[in-house]
Amino acid sequence: MTGTGSDRSSRARLRSLRPESFGADPEGERLARVHRSPNFGNGTFQNPEPTRRGPSGSTVALARTYFEKEGRARRAPAGAIPVHPTTVADLARPPATGLRLTWMGHSGVLAEIDGHRVLFDPVWGDRCSPFPFAGPKRLHPVPAPLSALGPVDVVVISHDHYDHLDLPTIKELATTDTLFAVPLGVGAHLERWGVPASRLRELDWNESTEVDGLRLTATPARHFCGRGLRNKQHTLWASWVVRGAGHRIFHSGDTGYFSGFREIGADHGPFDATMIQLGAYSEFWTDIHMTPAEGLRAHLDLQGGGPAGVLLPIHWGTFNLAPHAWAEPGEWTKDAAEEAGQAVAFPRPGEPFEPAGKLPAEAWWRGVSQPIAHPWRRPKPAQTPAGAPAHDLDLAGDR
The long-range contacts involving 360-367, CB below 8 angstroms and separated by at least 24 positions, are 363/330, 363/331, 363/334, 363/396, 364/82, 365/77, 365/81, 365/317, 365/326, 365/327, 365/330, 365/331, 365/396, 366/327, 366/395, 366/396, 366/397, 366/399, 367/79, 367/82, 367/397
- Phi first, then psi: what are they for 250, rounded to 5°? -135, 135
pLDDT by residue (tens digit) across 96-153?
999 999 999 999 999 999 999 999 999 999 999 999 899 999 999 999 999 999 999 9
Per-residue pLDDT reduced to its tens digit, 158-197: 999 999 999 999 999 999 999 999 999 999 999 999 999 9
> Across all residues in the chain, what is the average pLDDT?
89
Average pLDDT over residues 311-322: 97
Residue closest to 272 by CA, chosen among 341, 360, 213, 355: 355
Prediction pTM value: 0.90
Measured over all CA atoms, what is the biggest interatomic distance in the chain, rounded to whole angstroms?
A: 85
Residue 259, pLDDT above cutoff 70: yes
